[in-house]
Chain A
Amino acid sequence: MGIAFGICFVTGLISHVHQNPPAWLDVPSRPVWAYQLTQGLHVATGIASIPLLLAKLWTVYRRLFAWPPFPDLARLLERLLLVPLVAGAVFELVTGLLNIVQWYPWRFAFPVAHYRVAWVLVGALLVHLAVKAPTARSVTGRRRRPDAPPEAAPSPERRAVLAGVAAAAGAVTVATVGQTVAPLRAVSLLAPRDPALGPQGLPVNRTAAAARVAPKALDPGWRLLVAGRLRLSMSDLLALPQHEVELPIACVEGWSASARWGGVRLRDVLDLAGVPPDRHITVVSLEEGGYQTSPVGPSAARDPLTLLAMRVRGEPLHLDHGYPLRLIAPNRPGVQQTKWLSRIEVSS
């Protein structure tokens, strides 16, 4: 349980830093598959920890009704600590599960609340572990004194609980992990995404209709403005050296799908505009609102795999995949692979 929540917390922090990089940090663009792995792990571990959490809570539930409820101050504090622990754990799993189906029946921004409560949960979990440390040690029986009586073998009931939790964790994992592990997509009957379903065989998170970009994106007068001084049309971009790269879209919701993208290297365009190689840049979408901009550090901006893509799988981008031009870069959350590009700005 602790390990599962530890994995979720660390991978969650990685995702948070990707999406909210401090100004001084240049998020590395390699390894290519890093975000796909950490975020896939984040969601899969969260789902697998449902049976872990339930089994844990259900085996200790009747202790809630121990009498007297608060024999001493230590026991009272221990009980109060259960409030952030249980509320935080259930909150993180419930909001996470609803987010992966893009269902938001609440009045807060999911990533902000999920991130904040994660700190509450991890803090409560650490305190809980410290408080329970002697008990946990006596159960695992490590460092027994040589004259201590031999340990009793785990009872059939305890073994059955462990086997049941393992079976349930395995079942929910197989039922969903096909959204990122493509060979399992046929058996992942409960996966919120099918990585091969969508226009051009790729899922879409935000459609052109939802982003209200269609008129501007389809306008033949579209130009990409680079660093405020270079204006590139579609034919200008096609006249630059073209490259093809195989890169995944790895979404924060835990699904991912790889495809072959075609276009021009971002670094070629930046060189053309005379942008120094150590600069942080911002890509700006035609879409207005929360997803309009995303930061690109020098490491990603100069990576030869980072493209301003015009094609996917040999076809011009579908409007829902960011026509006329989108960013595609290695080791980057899907939400930051900005679509329907209009400008590239250089940070001062």
Chain B
Amino acid sequence: MTPWWRAPVLVTGVLVLGYGTLLVLSGGPAAPPTAVGVWLAGSLVGHDLLLAPLTLVVAALVVRTLRGVQRRVVATGLLVAACLVLVALPALLTPGVPDNPTTTPRNYGVGLAVLLAADAAVTAALVLAARRRRRPVSLAKGPVRTQE
């Protein structure tokens, strides 16, 4: 069934998208459409042809090597790590602002390493906990069988 809000949202969306496109194309020295366009295209290509395929390769490795709870825990740990790296990259790579030590004042390499280590530790702990939870079950089954 078509929800009642579909048509108004669709019309609003088309109008807003048209307005935005006109804004981008309106140009001016502050934001020439070519300069913005290059970064828009770069955003699309950077994600679809670089980041997404890379993710799929990593995901395929995880799927092939791990099962069940462990797979899910490790996948979560990797997603957290990837997002931390993405958020840290600008601060790590920026040339910085001359004469202004209050911008990006921290040691972001160390910060990222600490956070990734914490992520790895939590992931490892959860994987171990999942293994331990499974083991008592299999031990409990043993004696039952010998009594039979």
Contacts and interface: CB of A to CB of B under 8 A. Distances in A.
Between A64, A95, A189, A210, the greatest number of chain B beta carbons within 10 A of the residue's beta carbon is seen for A189
A70 interface: no
B40 A91 contact: yes
A112 B111 contact: no
A301 B142 CA distance: 81
A160 B99 contact: no
Contact of A61 (B56, B72, B94): B56
A238 interface: no
Dominant SS among interface residues on chain B? helix
B84 A171 contact: yes
Contact of B36 (A55, A83, A116, A127): A116
Interface in A21-38: none
B83 A54 contact: yes
A98 interface: yes
A168 interface: yes
A74 interface: no
A113 to B, nearest CB: 4
B14 A127 contact: yes
Interface in B81-119: 82-84, 86-88, 90-91, 93-95, 97-100, 102-106, 108, 110-112, 114-115, 119
A88 B38 CA distance: 12
Given A101-B91, A193-B103, A57 B111 contact: no
Nearest to A290: B30
Contacts of B105: 193-194, 197
B111 A189 contact: yes
B6 A197 contact: no
Between A62, A130, A190, the greatest number of chain B beta carbons within 10 A of the residue's beta carbon is seen for A190
A210 B14 contact: no
Contacts of A103: 90, 93-95
Interface stretch (A118-126, A261-269, A271-279, A330-338): A118-126
Interface stretch (A131-139, A223-231, A239-247): A131-139
Interface string B56-75: 10010000000000001001
B94 A101 contact: yes
A197 B87 contact: no
A233 interface: no
B36 to A, nearest CB: 5
Contacts of A108: 30-32, 35-36, 39
Contact of B103 (A57, A102, A160, A169): A102
A130 B10 contact: yes
A123 to B, nearest CB: 3
B16 A126 contact: yes
- Interface residue range, chain B: 35 or more
B147 interface: no
Nearest to B86: A50
A117 B20 contact: yes
Given A50-B87, A103-B90, A122 B16 contact: yes
Interface string A53-74: 0110110011010000000000
Given A112-B31, A133-B2, A134-B2, A190 B115 contact: yes
Interface stretch (A201-209, A280-288, A309-317, A340-348): A201-209
Between B39, B103, B105, the greatest number of chain A beta carbons within 10 A of the residue's beta carbon is seen for B103
A153 to B, nearest CB: 16
B91 A192 contact: yes
A109 B32 CA distance: 9
B138 interface: no
A6 interface: no
Between A47, A86, A95, the greatest number of chain B beta carbons within 10 A of the residue's beta carbon is seen for A86
B13 A189 contact: no
A115 B13 CA distance: 17
Contacts of B76: 160, 163-164, 167-168
Given A54-B51, A117-B20, A124-B13, 12 more contacts: A86-B43, A90-B47, A91-B39, A103-B93, A107-B35, A120-B21, A123-B13, A134-B2, A171-B83, A190-B106, A193-B103, A198-B102
Interface of A: 47, 50-51, 54-55, 57-58, 61-62, 64, 83-84, 86-88, 90-91, 94-95, 97-98, 100-103, 106-109, 112-113, 115-131, 133-134, 137, 143, 156-157, 160, 163-165, 167-169, 171-172, 175-176, 189-194, 197-198, 203-205, 207, 209-210
10 contacts: A83-B44, A98-B94, A103-B93, A120-B20, A126-B17, A130-B10, A164-B76, A168-B79, A172-B84, A190-B112
